[in-house]
Amino acid sequence: MADRFAIAAGNWSNTSTWSTTAGGGGGASVPGVGDAAHLNNRAVVADVNIECDSITTRALNGATQGGSLTVTTDRTITASLWPGLTSIITISTAGITVNLIGEIQGSTTTNNIGSVIVSNASTVNITGNCIGGTGGTGAQAVRGNHASSLVNIVGDCFASAVNSAVNNVLGGVINITGNCYGSNSSATPSGITNSSSGTINITGNCYGSDLYTATTSPYGAGAHNNSTGIINLIGSAFGGKGSSPGISNQVSGGTLNIKRAVGGPGGPGMAAPVIGVSVGVLNTNSGGIVNVEEIEFGVLGSPPTQGSARFTDLVTNVCQVTLTDNSTKNLVDPTNVSGLVPNEEDVRNGVIYAGGINTGSCAVPPISSVAAGVPVDNSMGTAVITIPILASVLGQLLADALSD
């Protein structure tokens, strides 16, 4: 792998922009596959599609911190992004589509510095994992800074000890296909944060932090709703091994729509680090809205939800509990579960079932009234027709006919 250092402001494709050393002269080859591009406190324009190993604004290998990569038209950039003192890419042109392929990290040195900042009505497609930075607060990998921005992420999102990986700051839409993880280095940061009235859609699972804290808090969640926006989770929210929820809502007016909430693994008799009671979904504000389709208690009884929550009105509503013998049992709504509760005509007459809601109407004759060998109920009929019985029946039929 070769290092390339920007030594002048200019186009990416211009060899005069690049040097083999931080303080050298221009004329080096343009960064290519396997090369590390150091922006070296210079403003470089992405006039072509880019493919290299990494792009960084950090002070590495003699480079000066800072710099930027300007994108003003549709571009595909294949590289890991490692910001330092400044963001790497700020997308401020409306209507463009930028494809980013590679891991994206947040800043290691500075507050409110995302590796990628989307500050206009643009579309950004990311294929790769996003990791929160270890700099000050706000150093996320990706920040949605516009109400009409669209960010599509295919990859997992990991909080660092300080920051979420992704923050929806000003109301746009973020779609994530992947899992979201609360920090395992600190019990505070969540994998992703919705700090606006915008929407985050997650197709995957959310996992709370595995670090233990003395009290349950909304922090350290896989995903955290910190404003009046909406988080839709098509997947499961798992409570962590400590006390962090899989997903949390902290603000009145915020909404969580959850496929499945699962209580954490902690409970009686557990030693550190699995000693906290953590929930799949935590709603800390009475004005927040939580809708959940399925709930499952943890193996030692940790509840799937805390705070107000409602079941969605779907035929798949299920509640799973773990019994004292460690087996599991599903509890279902007998009035609203297709195929799981028998019809009344299929249940023995007079039998009350489905929690007292239904009564069976199927009349089952005794086996003595059914011909021998004919299946009935859970047995066989035993009735045998003898000659005297047959003569008696025929005589009665003849008498009935004559009387008519």
Residue pLDDT, tens place only, 201-248 = 999 999 998 876 555 556 789 999 999 999 999 999 999 887 889 999
Unique residue bearing structure tokens 């294929």:
127
Could you read off the pLDDT of 111-129 as tens digits, one per residue? 767 899 999 999 999 999 9
Residue 323 has pLDDT above 90, yes or no: no
Cα–Cα dist 93/224, whole Å? 29
Integer Cα distance of 185 and 191 in angstroms: 12
Left, alpha or beta for 221 (phi > 0: left; psi -120 to 50: alpha)?
A: beta
Smallest CA-to-CA distance from 17 within 54, 47, 52, 62 is with 47
Phi, psi (deg, nearest 5) at residue 380: -125, 150
pLDDT tens, 11-57?
999 999 999 999 999 999 999 999 999 999 999 999 999 999 999 99
The full DSSP string for 132-183 is --SSSTT--SEEE-STT-EEEEES-EE--SS--SEEE-SS-EEEEES-EE--
The DSSP bridge partners found for residue 167 are 143, 193
User: What amino acid occupies position 193?
Assistant: T
pLDDT of residue 206: 97
Q: Could you give the CA distance from residue 222 to residue 369 in angstroms, rounded to a whole number?
A: 64
Residue 328 neighbours by CB under 8 Å, 6+ apart: 320, 321, 322
98's enclosing H/E stretch is: strand 97-101
Residue 319 — very low, low, confident or very high, per pLDDT cuts 50/70/90? confident
DSSP class of residue 397? H
Q: Assess whether pLDDT exceeds 70 at residue 355.
A: no
* pTM, entire model: 0.81
φ, ψ of residue 344 in degrees (nearest 5): -60, -35
Q: Give the pLDDT confidence score for residue 274 in this predicted structure.
A: 52
Peptide bond into 273 cis (omega under 30): yes
- Bridge-partner residues for 249, per DSSP? 225, 283
Cα gap 378→101, rounded to integer Å = 64
Query: In this predicted structure, what is the pLDDT of residue 272?
Result: 59
